[in-house]
Each structure stands twice: as structure tokens, then as C-alpha cells.
Chains A and B, each alone.
Chain A
Amino acid sequence: MRLLLHQFRAEQKLFWRSRELAFFTFLLPIVFYLMLGSAYGDEEIEGVDGYQFLLAGMIGYGAAATTFAGLALLLVIRRESGVLKRIRATPLPAGTYIAAVLASIIVIFLLEAIILIGLARFAFDVPIPDSLASLAIVLLLGAGSFAALGIGLTALIRSAEGSSAVVNALYLPVAFISGAFFSESTFPELLRLIGEILPLSHLIALSRDVIAFDETVWEHLDDVAVIAAWGIAGLVVALRGFRWEPRER
């Protein structure tokens, strides 16, 4: 427990000192929410108040940017620079290390979500959802599944140089076709079908149901199942493919 806390504190320090990572993963969804909210938040999108539609979208986008893309980048850079290997030679147990990294990135995402919800409440007059328990479950489910996918993704990335290209090429288009920024209903059928299969559209739909319609997660177990299934798939790849040593050379 002492070790977990020690590493958690170090992870927080490392994240906030890495300006680029903190900006692209933590701050960008908040900036987008302010921009898009001011631009078309007062319109109705798909029968939902625009501010609420975008809040759900930005929570989903934030989960993908922080716990998926951010975590994958951070781990690949550490692996390729040899830091992971060096930590492996210390008495810090591997499980404790991974737990601290995960806890740190999930806490950062939760903070981001709280800021988004606070902004919605105070800048755009969006009421706080009725079911806070459901909201918490949605956030944790999204963070957990995307973090597992993020660790799994590190197994498929071979170099630090290529990592941000690969990660961005994956999560940005997915965020678009999953309806994070605007309604996906006008997209071609094929794109919508792909979006349907991927977990982000389900996370956004679930957030929207909780935020805009005050429904609970128990009414949407199908979405929960899809997100969890992706998370488990990510976990399997992570457990089989995660490496501590640099892959280059």
C-alpha cells in the first residue's frame, strides 16, 4: 500500500509535468466543450439539448483521449526509453506499478469529467444528472475499458517515434464516427456500422442516456456489455503482449 501510494504520487507528478500529454489528453476535451458548446450548444441535436449532447460526447472523447491514447503513449515512451526495464530491476512489484499507473490515469480522467460536468452546470445551465451512481458507473466503466485497451495497444506499437501517429490515427476517427462532436446520423451506413461495433459510441450513448434522459445504467445493459467486452478483449491482449523491454534495436 505504501509502495502503491508512493508510485501514484510519482505518476501524478510525471503526468502534470509532461505538458504536451496533459494538454492533449486532459485539457483538449475541456477546450473542445467550451468551443463547440458556444458554437452550437443551444441547438437541439437528435432531440437532445445541445449542451447535454456535447457533454456526453466530450466525456466519451475524454475517456478515449486520456485513458486510452494518453496511457498508451505514456507506456510506449517509457518502454522504448528503457525506464520500464529499469523499474523491473527494482523490488517494486510489477502489479503494484501497473496498478499505480492505472489509478493515476483514471483519477485524471475523473477530474476531467468533473470539470466538464461543472462547466456544463455553471456555464451552460445543464442540470446535474439524477442518478449520480449511474454516472459514476459509466465513468469508471469507460475509464477501465479504455485503459485496458490502451495497455493492449502498446503491444502493437513498435517504436516511440511512430506511437503518436498510430494512436491519433486510431482514436480521432473513432471519436468522429462515434458521434463525440456531432450527430453521426448523417454519416454513411458503413461508417455508422463501424461506429456501432466500437465501444466509444456505446459509452457516449450511455452517458447521454444518464445525462440527458436521467436514466440508469441498468436500463442499458446492452451498452454496458459491449463496453465491458471490449475492455476484456483489451485486457487479454495486454496480459499476453505487454512488454517491459524496448522493442527497437
Chain B
Amino acid sequence: MRAVEVSGLTKAYDGVEAVRGIDFAIGSGEVFALLGPNGAGKTTTVEVLVGYRRRDGGEVTVLGTDPARADARWRARIGVVPQTGELFPNLTVFEHLELFAGYYDDPRPPREVLSLVGLDEKARAKTRTLSGGQRRRLDLGVALVGNPELIFLDEPTTGFDPGARRAAWETIRSLRSLGKTILLTTHYIEEAHRLADRVAVLRRGEIVASGTPAELIARTPATVIRYRRNGEEVVVQTEDPTRVLHDLTGRALGDGLELEGLEVHRATLEDVYLALTEEQAE
């Protein structure tokens, strides 16, 4: 059975359409990324799926239930790491895990969660003394302590330095190996590429492309050639790199010009993403 099924989802705030009819499904045990720039509708989608907000239209099923009609038993099966929000500044890390563990019938032992998110050494620290990255790990711990099947991570690594981001990716991979289903939102292409089995690219409330990272990359011409002409970057995408490159360098040699910053590489998810989100921007 699918963990999440969404069809024709729409949601507007004060007449502004944040989500304009999107469809996607997430299989059990799958890591699914909603990739898109700020304001694309990622958080709105998550908030409808976890039951924070009512949708305007469309069908949504999460773990077999409509989130708008969900009960406590359903909430025990999901974990949510919101994009923003604080915890209690005067409680310690361990006290937070104990407090939230108490809400569930069958929690994961707080000690175990502490190790899972790498906060063993901070167990007795008050939340207000934690760094931004440590707080974010506690956010994750609080979402995991109920031992959920399905986890929503809304921009889990925004604002992290590269080292902290890699550590967070390791944690998310370990969740995946525990068999959890994960919906992740991000505006980092690399994050989606590294973590997700499937990616949907969201732009202005619409899904403009979706598939595995490999499928998305296959949608654009396989090779990208870049160079600078009069200081301006020129990007050529082609299925026929040998001939294009031959013509280009032949002409340059004939004119006695140097192709500054010449670069040839296979298309990455970034090229696809930029093509999708820029091309249609007005």
C-alpha cells in the first residue's frame, strides 16, 4: 500500500494559490523529495499532509487516512520536523525526549533516540544553550521518539554548514535503512539527489517534473558545454557533443580565439533544476 497519495491538491491563502493541483504518491519505505525554490508550495503541501491545514480541493490519503479527519492513533504513526519553531528553552535535551515519548503508547527509548540523532553528549544541556544544528537534531529526535512509520522533514538542513549537512544526511539515510518512509522538502539539489529515491520539482504550486534523479537527468540533453564569450557565459546542451565541440573549437581556431573557461560535463540534477525553474520564470 502507498504511504501517501495526493491527487489534484489545491490550497490558497487569501486568494493567492500556494498549491495549484498537484499529484504524487509515495511508496512504503521510499524517500521522496519535494524540491523547489522558496515559495514554491513545499511547506503548504506538508502542512496539509500532516493535518495542520485544511486543503481547498483534491484528494489526500496519508497512511490510509484523510489527514483532515485523523485521530490520535494516526498521529502516533507520523513524525513531523517543522521548518520553523522552537522547543522549551528551560528543558534539557533528554527531558524533551522523555516528555514527547510520554505521548505515545510504544515509544522508542529516549536513550536510543539520543544516539540516533547524535546528541548523547548534550543529554543534560538546556535547549537554550544548544547551537542551531543541535536544535535541529533535537527537532528530529522529538519527531522520532514516537517511532513513526512516516516522517515529514521540512527543510531539515537549511542553514547548516557543509559538515553538519553531511552528518544530517547520514542520519536520514539511517532512518531509511530502518524502513521508514520519508517525505523531505528542500531547496538544495544535492540533498534531493543524495537522499531521495524519487524527486518532484515544485515551482509556483505546480509539479513541473518528477521521477528518480536519474530519470530527471535523462530528460535534458546528456552533455553540457560551457565557455565564456566576451565575459558572458554560454551554455550549450547537446545530445551530440562530439560534433558540437568539434565545430566550436574548429571555429575558434579558425578565428584565432581562445574559448575561455571551456568545460564539458554530463548534465547534473542542478542543470535540470535550473532549466525547469528558470526557463518558465517571467
Contact = CB atoms under 8 A, between A and B. Distances in A.
A107 interface: no
Interface residues of A, number: 21
Interface string A65-93: 00000000000000001110110111111
A3 interface: yes
Contacts of A18: 90
B86 A83 contact: yes
Interface in B83-128: 84-88, 90-91, 95, 99-100, 102-105
Contact of A91 (B80, B84, B86, B146): B146
A217 B104 CA distance: 43
B9 interface: no
A48 interface: no
Interface string B162-184: 00000000000000000000000
A86 B103 contact: no
Interface stretch (A9-17, A32-40, A168-176): A9-17
A10 B102 CA distance: 10
A245 B95 CA distance: 23
A6 B102 contact: yes
Nearest to A16: B90
A182 B170 CA distance: 65
B72 A93 contact: yes
B21 interface: no
Interface of B: 50-52, 72-73, 75-76, 78, 80, 82, 84-88, 90-91, 95, 99-100, 102-105, 142, 146
19 contacts: A3-B103, A6-B99, A7-B102, A10-B99, A17-B90, A81-B85, A82-B82, A82-B84, A83-B86, A83-B88, A85-B52, A86-B82, A89-B80, A91-B72, A91-B73, A91-B76, A92-B103, A93-B72, A246-B85
